[in-house]
Amino acid sequence: MNNYWQHILLFTKRFLFLIIFYAISRLFFYVLNAAYFNDISWSELILLFIAGIRFDVAAIAFTNLFLLLILFPGAYKNNITLQKVFTILFLVVNCLVIMTNFIDARFFDFINKRSTSAIFSLMGANRDTWLMLPRFIVDYWYVVLVFLIVMAGFVKLTPVLNFKKIINEKMSWLTFSYQIVIVAFISGLLLLGFRGTGLKPLGITNAANYTALKNVPLVINTPFSIIKTVENENLNEQSYFKTDTLHKIYNPIHRLHSASGFNKKNIVIFILESSQNHIK
């Protein structure tokens, strides 16, 4: 069981390691948007960061389910090549996930909330988004720079398996049974971490239990927001009339014709909308 405890220790270290880097990305989010959260005291800010750990755990549990594969019984876990593959997978997945927090640190200026799964529809359907991407990188170079520095530390400090503590040991049926129970237990903890203990699964609205609605974006994280909105149904554009039919009912385009020709004078057009309360 000595080898197996080394793998459990590695799993625990990586989970706690991710919590730290989620907190770093939340701090960066706060620093760039401090003006929006200017009514929060330092004591309240610390409490919000602590509350945010609950939502970080949920996001980490969901995006790192693949780590359970390295906890199943068997000596395959002690293979150096396999461990390198899992380490690379761990780095790639979590670098991409954490990147969404850094993107939102600046994108928050435009939407005043954490990004949702709708961002994928926007990027897929809107070609202009990809064309403007290089410009965004130039304008917000400091976000890219901080992200690269943080990710360099992430890659450098990521816990790896200590092969010096791996010994040759045989697997008995009793050991096999113990390991199955432990995997089941850890799987249950991950499910509990993502879903929560309430009658309803943990959601974005639960963040309002810790603070005012305005401060919810500071409590949750972008991966959690995206995951929780994947199944949301977007509003579909409805078309009740054909264009020709609408033009017969009312056509907003008016073409004026004069038999004497066009008199070239200045034309000033005023368009008023919802201003009737201001007219005296």
DSSP code string of 215-273: GHHHHS-HHHHHHHTTTPPPPPPP--S-HHHHHHH--S------TT-------------
248 inside domain:
no
pLDDT digits (tens, 9 = 90+) for 239-259: 888 888 888 888 887 777 766
28 inside domain:
yes
Residue 125: pLDDT band (50, 70, 90) is low
29 inside domain:
yes
Domain count, the chain: 1
pLDDT digits (tens, 9 = 90+) for 136-151: 888 999 999 999 999 9
279 inside domain:
no
265 inside domain:
no
Round the average pLDDT of the chain to a whole number and report it. 86
60 inside domain:
yes
pLDDT at residue 3, rounded to an integer: 82
Q: Domain span at residue 171?
A: 2-228
By CB atoms closer than 10 A (0-12, 13-18, 19+), residue 156 is exposed
182 inside domain:
yes
Residue 280: pLDDT band (50, 70, 90) is very low
Residues across the chain: 280
Which structure tokens are listed for 75? 């000596």
Q: Which of 131, 135, 136 is nearest to 105 (CA)?
A: 136
pLDDT at residue 279, rounded to an integer: 46
27 inside domain:
yes
pTM of the model as a whole: 0.80
